[in-house]
Structure 1
């Protein structure tokens, strides 16, 4: 049953002197949201008037200046919604609503009735022009299909004249444009444009729908460039794109189509739409943003956008949705986490003028995402990620040599559950395995004095009184513990740093010990820097078998 031979490849046009590959996107296109029409018709449960109103307000807040609000001649809810927007004055003066209608008089008449009293509107008329639709659906030849388009254009002009107080813009779509012979698509559009006479001041949009995505994006761009070159009154109309995502390339096709000469893009938030969906405005706009181009849309609160879209459409935003998904700025991989931690620190230290952080194409804060979500820990995570979580969430900056031991503890915990681990649990494990110290190894007090060029230490540790001598307090305590526990002991790493400043400042000390060939680690904080160092040493020692022997003795 799975036989590729039943399909044939899409035949590209010959365009040897194509110009679009040498161009670069530098400005955002004119945007038109079709969430309330294309998006709504694709929902399992179409939106109520209340939900449509909520989504319309979101689109206005984001910054859309052209919003397709429905197909008012096709259903009473769409008609009622358009009337609600107009009568309750929900449409800002700088926003133009757009409505869709087939090229049939009774539907066009109803459409203009729905728009009565609107300040400005785009009336979007369409009919299908593709070879398959002509032959298999309508049973009409080229002239028959073109006559439908011309009649629709004439009716729009006639009915618009009855409402002179509204500023009308006309839009025509040769539906299934990508399945239409290009010369014929141009012929039909030229005929429609001739009716509307843009040279006399009538605003006109020609919309070129990839109703079903049929080719690779570069072939679509060739089609757009060819069309723009051959349209008679190209400089007097706006060329719009309406790409669908059947091949998963709607955004790419729209981007290349703009390079090929188009001015405007229709799409939906998160790409909701028929079959695999419409062109995703969020993705294309954020693609521009990440290249330093103003997208002319405000996507700074992506959480609120996600919440509203999910509420109104009853569809979840995928966790891996480009730019907007919950997990798209999250790193579980250890190497990624380490690179992010280092790169963010470098970025801050060097005050770079542009965002250049490993694995993060934009600053998540720009769209309302917190850094807390950037690094999350599971069994695949590494030492850099664990260290970053402790530093980010708890202000605990640790020396690099301590990253691996902590990571090993955390990884063991995640492997035992097979689940992600919270930052709070990481902190608990850190305290349990590196900070917490039994009473027997708690520093109760100490005295230091110099003698014969060295340091003498008297320390009360738990219930023991120990004496030691060395070049400093750490060496003196190491010598005392070695004798008391009858073991060999060597400090392999030591790090200390101040926490804050002033009279309330504290110090954090980190110690790595090798006790009878076993590596152990300890961390401690105290207002006294020497006390912090001594207690860190004791915390490390308490985790060695020698500490148990000492207590037993």
Structure 2
């Protein structure tokens, strides 16, 4: 690693500010501002459509956000039209303020206020970059010239706000704050505050973004604390933070920044955003909940939020994402499983009012999850979820819902007859023996396909109780052709209701597993095929299901 080419690019305050380090926890929730529809949207491979933006906006309102950045109206017609749609169709609740972003340039500010005409409550967020690197390399301007841009932008906001119908508040960001000399950042922000002339009733927002995360979180906290102590009219200023996650410390930056005096957080759901992303508001809010502080946001149904987020953004919520990931409450260690099971029993027996279970910092049910650990013991009273969980987490099988239900009754009946608990290996043995690659009484020893007139033709050799038959049939697909051949030869009038497949593990040597769901004589049957080749696996699944039928009928 070429570590010699890097040097610290941040600036520490001229005086030490470490009072934040004496605080134990964050005592109250900040003002939350979602920037999913602007900062998050611009980071998507395919930005949201107008309809998707409206749906996402409604989700954010439902969660409880009172400030939502909806875009950069002067940047594109879609951004402009989205804001106009929100205003003209009265989609913005009276207690919600939309926020818009603009550069400190007159024609852009003018276009922004045109889009805001008639908006009941809006925050106009103006910014310009103040960092040493940008001043030298991008703009080629002096400190005074950069400060003048900020001052002029603030004046333009006030002028256009007076000419536009609506209720407007102002926000200013010294973009790339973390790469700006702190005393100079303070000088620029104070100049802007003087222009805005905030009051107790009409406070101004000064946003201190970690546009690029450069330092350890405690340095950012010290920067925030220094600004908080030295900003003009501090009692009329809301300090906002906009942490990015370049060093993977966005949540820590936000939390320490709140301890240091910040009043407000800008972030996104699941941390979506440019490069490594913005700060994850879900994590921040539930971290507060973990300490008994009401965040003011409703994340009681995270699976629902995940579904909407993944569908609209085409992004994936990582399985280990704090609180929201599908595996964050699953324990794979035996000792963890035992401790969790005992902790849940203890909690029930002692009727505890506060949550305190080993290895589970919060109750999964509080975020819409069902309590599950790997300590799942199967007997005649077990449900389909436990059996499917074992087959999936221990052996990699992801059964379709209908199959899970059918298999649960099958396994529970065996447990009931044996009058014993079934261990994971017992369940796996039953599953393999009775459903996977079942090759009696029939088996397909070989097959090949050809295409004729857009149809697949199969030629196969069938072994049936020691008798060999060569069969051929056509179908819309390979599996359909094999099914037609077996229907005709075996005189079985069955229908394929569902077919699914997946890989048991990653890599070229992985096995493919196929599940088939068929109906025959008004009864439902399932089969599983396992093979390195997915076509072979699908045929094995069909043969397995048919063999279950044949055995049941005594053929």
- On the 8 A contact 1:134/1:141 being kept in 2, the answer is yes
Counterpart for residue 70 of structure 1:
71
Counterpart for residue 56 of structure 2:
55
- On the 8 A contact 1:26/1:293 being kept in 2, the answer is yes
Counterpart for residue 451 of structure 1:
none
- On the 8 A contact 1:329/1:360 being kept in 2, the answer is yes
Distance between the aligned counterparts of 1:320 and 1:234, measured in 2? 40
Distance between the aligned counterparts of 1:421 and 1:314, measured in 2? 22
Distance between the aligned counterparts of 1:281 and 1:97, measured in 2? 17
- On the 8 A contact 1:317/1:325 being kept in 2, the answer is yes
Counterpart for residue 213 of structure 2:
213
- On the 8 A contact 1:341/1:388 being kept in 2, the answer is no
**C-alpha distance 103-334 of structure 1, shift in aligned 2 (>3 A):** same
How much has 1:421 moved relative to structure 2? 8.4
- On the 8 A contact 2:379/2:416 being kept in 1, the answer is no
Counterpart for residue 143 of structure 1:
144
Counterpart for residue 43 of structure 2:
42
Does residue 436 of the first structure (1) align with residue 435 of the second (2)? no
How much has 1:223 moved relative to structure 2? 0.6
Counterpart for residue 547 of structure 2:
none
Superposed CA deviations along residues 153-199 of structure 1, whole A, max 9, x for unmatched, are 00000000012x42210000000000000000000000001001014
SS in 2 for 1:337: helix
**C-alpha distance 160-390 of structure 1, shift in aligned 2 (>3 A):** farther
Distance between the aligned counterparts of 1:363 and 1:389, measured in 2? 26
Counterpart for residue 443 of structure 1:
none
**C-alpha distance 141-11 of structure 1, shift in aligned 2 (>3 A):** closer
How much has 1:433 moved relative to structure 2? 7.6
SS in 2 for 1:387: coil
Counterpart for residue 112 of structure 1:
113
Counterpart for residue 466 of structure 1:
none
Counterpart for residue 3 of structure 2:
4
Does residue 419 of the first structure (1) align with residue 396 of the second (2)? yes
SS in 1 for 2:330: coil
Counterpart for residue 102 of structure 1:
103
Which is further off, 342-351 or 10-19?
A: 10-19
Distance between the aligned counterparts of 2:227 and 2:4, measured in 1? 31
Does residue 255 of the first structure (1) align with residue 237 of the second (2)? no
How much has 1:432 moved relative to structure 2? 5.0
Distance between the aligned counterparts of 1:246 and 1:202, measured in 2? 34
Distance between the aligned counterparts of 2:385 and 2:80, measured in 1? 57
Counterpart for residue 127 of structure 1:
128
How much has 1:387 moved relative to structure 2? 2.7
Counterpart for residue 532 of structure 2:
none
- On the 8 A contact 1:375/1:389 being kept in 2, the answer is no
Distance between the aligned counterparts of 1:201 and 1:185, measured in 2? 25
SS in 1 for 2:383: helix
- On the 8 A contact 1:130/1:177 being kept in 2, the answer is yes
How much has 1:22 moved relative to structure 2? 1.1
SS in 1 for 2:156: helix
Does residue 289 of the first structure (1) align with residue 271 of the second (2)? no
SS in 2 for 1:324: coil
Distance between the aligned counterparts of 2:172 and 2:136, measured in 1? 21
**C-alpha distance 102-392 of structure 1, shift in aligned 2 (>3 A):** farther
Distance between the aligned counterparts of 1:109 and 1:395, measured in 2? 58
Counterpart for residue 383 of structure 2:
393
How much has 1:151 moved relative to structure 2? 0.4
**C-alpha distance 430-332 of structure 1, shift in aligned 2 (>3 A):** farther
- On the 8 A contact 2:200/2:236 being kept in 1, the answer is no
- On the 8 A contact 1:302/1:324 being kept in 2, the answer is yes
SS in 2 for 1:265: strand
- On the 8 A contact 2:130/2:175 being kept in 1, the answer is yes
How much has 1:200 moved relative to structure 2? 7.9
- On the 8 A contact 2:380/2:413 being kept in 1, the answer is no
Does residue 347 of the first structure (1) align with residue 347 of the second (2)? yes
Q: Which protein is bigger by CA-based radius of gyration?
A: 1
What are the within-5 Å matches in structure 2 for residues 19-34 of structure 1?
A: 19-23=19-23, 24-34=25-35
Matched length: 411
How much has 1:386 moved relative to structure 2? 3.5
How much has 1:276 moved relative to structure 2? 0.4
Does residue 203 of the first structure (1) align with residue 185 of the second (2)? no
Distance between the aligned counterparts of 1:388 and 1:30, measured in 2? 47
Counterpart for residue 278 of structure 1:
278
Distance between the aligned counterparts of 1:12 and 1:79, measured in 2? 39
- On the 8 A contact 1:196/1:202 being kept in 2, the answer is no
Does residue 268 of the first structure (1) align with residue 268 of the second (2)? yes
How much has 1:246 moved relative to structure 2? 0.5
How much has 1:104 moved relative to structure 2? 0.3
How much has 1:124 moved relative to structure 2? 0.2
**C-alpha distance 121-80 of structure 1, shift in aligned 2 (>3 A):** same
Distance between the aligned counterparts of 1:237 and 1:389, measured in 2? 62
Counterpart for residue 509 of structure 1:
none
Distance between the aligned counterparts of 2:286 and 2:229, measured in 1? 29
RMSD of aligned Cα (Å): 2.6
Superposed CA deviations along residues 17-68 of structure 1, whole A, max 9, x for unmatched, are 5100111211110000000000000000000000000000000000000000
How much has 1:436 moved relative to structure 2? 3.2
Superposed CA deviations along residues 61-86 of structure 1, whole A, max 9, x for unmatched, are 00000000000011110000000000
- On the 8 A contact 2:116/2:166 being kept in 1, the answer is no
How much has 1:337 moved relative to structure 2? 1.4
